[in-house]
Structure 1
């Protein structure tokens, strides 16, 4: 089942941003700054609760009757349309106000499951805090504290469990999409559909010279040589006669879902416009998904030599954090460089699923430590004892040792680069995790120390008794 989408709705200062950060366990929320969307739209992957999900913060709504419709018709309307469930936050300390009722009436129009969360309820009687919000007619409220986490996991699990019962039939079947699954993502009008048409060699995906011509992701299976592929077009496809709107909204939710269902992600960048903040946002999402990554700079044929040099310099400077991803300079329209993408896709896919033995991992780890030892922490050297492979796609290396929780980020980056080079993990993120090893002799030492102390005490006690016995005077007859 694809990840459900939960939208956070409510007035300003009711704690939505705090709840968003708690649900995503992050402080730097991803901002989707796409055409038609405001900067307040934030997307993240939910990590609180038993089921993974996507959470969207819609920004604060004033709730004023005269000005609420234009505001809701924009970013909030799009978020509520693509959401599977809505978390409606209200202020438990301030109580029910008319603005909450206005927002509640608008939410009802979307016919989505709604859970009212009475925030800032820490230190309050929950039944009393919830009492007046029953008037909203949106079911039983749940008192929470987004700042302290009270009842947050319970509320999320309640919403997700209800969704999972309704969506069991929508499970993703990998067998229906064979081969290497490749998601093509990018901003509107960068040439995603044109690239897919060029890769499969036919007009399987409708392409228009207009941003956002389609909404939903589609799967395009095909075969090249002996290798099967399934291309995932995050723009989707629609018939020409159904295209009536001038510009449609770009759905970042569909891009996230497509990346999670893929093996390799191609991020398509418009070379004529250079690297934008929107491209960096999508790149951050692609890295967070853990999938293999390929960067393709499109419309390269239309650039002058000066423009090409400027774009190369910008990519080299601004994409240092994603230097593991191979870059391709292409023209989707004319086909220049498109064929080279397949070789890189296969290499990235092979790297993401490449298994290495524990002995090889430990050999590389030992050599890395010899060449560059871990730092001293409080006068003691951090010890990295052994490593093993914890997962694939992306490769995940688990390293056991002492004081590993105090290792600086720079040393972790060093180990990632060493493993990547040694095992040719090209184009895929590599995760290195640390676990503190228990000292098997620690308990034995404590027992020995206890025994030693006990023996010393017994010896001292015996000696004391003998001394006292000698000092006792003899009784007179």
Structure 2
């Protein structure tokens, strides 16, 4: 979304809502049904990517997941839900049922999915009663119709009272034309409501200032290709039961993702759009990541793989630590992974309300962080409590601050003055009786800040001197806690020179 549209939304939210309705993007379609009928398979089919975990084991999906669905020319919001189970005892299944009912209340169109090969089971009938009471636009979807074994199930489906079932195969993509018709009718109905509302709401012109997202030249101070109105992707990662889901629920102010005392509740990586101080933050809740040797079940392997992909797509990664067991080996490995992926890192120490001697514990944590994570020296460390909401504003401040450093651009002139001072203060060593010459440095890219230094003999430059330069960049230009890339290249124009380069 561009800057003009962002400012327009802030100025006239009702007008933007109507325009969005006309575009059809506020039509929400929820896929519901009992466990293991193929809801996530259809979700992935409509989204066009395999973003929801799929397995033959019942109950893989636990949280409700949302994305942009597509059928031909149609665009709509699609919700994947947990399999409905009739439990009200406060168990994990009960909390999953509540998440599904929230999706039903939020949806404009409900695709009630059954397994045509298995036929109608008592849980389908119970779920049908719930949907009839919802008063929503419900369409019965009979999945897995490929083959003759589904014919009996299709006939049984009439007994649920939702009319003729739509037969499809989510796995093979059969029957999507009927879904196109269902969603198209819903979009047309939403557009008609929007047109009626638009006649009642005056849509004034909006004067906005365009915010350029470009470099401001080669000035003395570091400048940013950074737009504070752009959305920000933030992934919350950590070991199981560190409090990641609790933190997200506290931030957004609702029970958006499942929480509980059981470790490993979250499986899918769930994206939760949220607004903080006028800016959209895409929070991503991830499954807890244990040591590889302890991950044996197939489902956990899939969940961990999904969490690792979330790190790759994030811009800022919040590593959640348990204050009662901080900086275990797995925490350090995750921090190292984030640095190697080049993502901005913030360390959040959760469950701070359980710590008695806070001053001494904080001092020990800061010392351990500097000692154990030298590759991201100066990384922000925030103590908080996801349960009580303590220090959440400090966490968001740290996220925005590290994002600025991650996007920093430093002028070439300033970099070369800095390099001259570094070489004068600590010249590179002589190798084989010949002094190495550092001739030039420039910034190659941002996100993370990456630099190229041209040296007379790059292969002879010791790694210790490269670390000296990296630490100097970090301290001089305020890049603390940000991954820094430094490539060493030959400065000669001789075509017969070895073009080998090294990254540190």
Provide the TM-score with structure 2 as the length reference: 0.48
Alpha-carbon distance in 1 for matches of 2:308, 2:334: 9
1:423 lines up with 2:477 in the alignment: yes
- CA apart distance, 1:298: 0.9
Alpha-carbon distance in 1 for matches of 2:258, 2:317: 21
Q: 1:437 to 1:321 in 2, by over 3 A?
A: closer
Q: 1:226 to 1:426 in 2, by over 3 A?
A: farther
- CA apart distance, 1:302: 0.3
- CA apart distance, 1:178: 5.8
Counterpart of 1:219 (choices 271, 277, 291) is 271
* Aligned twin of 2:310: 258
Alpha-carbon contact 1:211-1:247 (below 8 Å) kept: no
Q: 1:308 to 1:292 in 2, by over 3 A?
A: closer
Q: 1:379 to 1:248 in 2, by over 3 A?
A: same
Alpha-carbon distance in 1 for matches of 2:483, 2:495: 37
Structure 2 counterparts to residues 86-165 of structure 1, below 5 A? none
- CA apart distance, 1:313: 4.8
* Aligned twin of 1:318: 372
* Aligned twin of 1:293: 345
Alpha-carbon contact 1:270-1:299 (below 8 Å) kept: yes
Q: How many residues align?
A: 259
Other structure's SS at 1:249 match: helix
- CA apart distance, 1:179: 0.8
Counterpart of 1:365 (choices 415, 419, 423) is 419
1:339 lines up with 2:393 in the alignment: yes
1:380 lines up with 2:431 in the alignment: no
Alpha-carbon distance in 1 for matches of 2:417, 2:230: 36
Provide the TM-score with structure 1 as the length reference: 0.51
Alpha-carbon distance in 2 for matches of 1:190, 1:401: 46
Alpha-carbon contact 1:211-1:248 (below 8 Å) kept: no
Alpha-carbon contact 2:370-2:378 (below 8 Å) kept: no
Alpha-carbon distance in 1 for matches of 2:266, 2:405: 33
* Aligned twin of 1:268: 320
- CA apart distance, 1:316: 4.4
- CA apart distance, 1:199: 2.0
* Aligned twin of 2:234: 182
1:234 lines up with 2:286 in the alignment: yes
Other structure's SS at 2:459 match: helix
Deviations 1:74-107 (A, max 9, x none): xxxxxxxxxxxxxxxxxxxxxxxxxxxxxxxxxx
Alpha-carbon contact 1:290-1:429 (below 8 Å) kept: yes
Q: List runs of 5+ in structure 2 lacking aligned partners.
A: 1-228, 289-296, 498-504
* Aligned twin of 2:8: none
Instruction: Select between 302-311 and 420-429 the one with higher mean Cα deviation.
Output: 302-311
* Aligned twin of 1:93: none
Alpha-carbon contact 2:264-2:287 (below 8 Å) kept: yes
Instruction: Select between 316-325 and 381-390 the one with higher mean Cα deviation.
Output: 316-325
Counterpart of 1:438 (choices 481, 492, 499) is 492
* Aligned twin of 1:393: 447
- CA apart distance, 1:442: 10
Other structure's SS at 1:351 match: helix
Alpha-carbon distance in 1 for matches of 2:300, 2:439: 51
* Aligned twin of 2:300: 249
Alpha-carbon distance in 1 for matches of 2:399, 2:260: 26
* Aligned twin of 1:278: 330
* Aligned twin of 2:459: 405
Q: State the Cα RMSD in Å.
A: 2.8
Q: List runs of 5+ in structure 1 lacking aligned partners.
A: 1-176, 237-245, 444-477
Q: 1:217 to 1:441 in 2, by over 3 A?
A: closer
Q: 1:380 to 1:297 in 2, by over 3 A?
A: same
Q: 1:350 to 1:365 in 2, by over 3 A?
A: same
Alpha-carbon distance in 2 for matches of 1:178, 1:256: 24
* Aligned twin of 1:195: 247
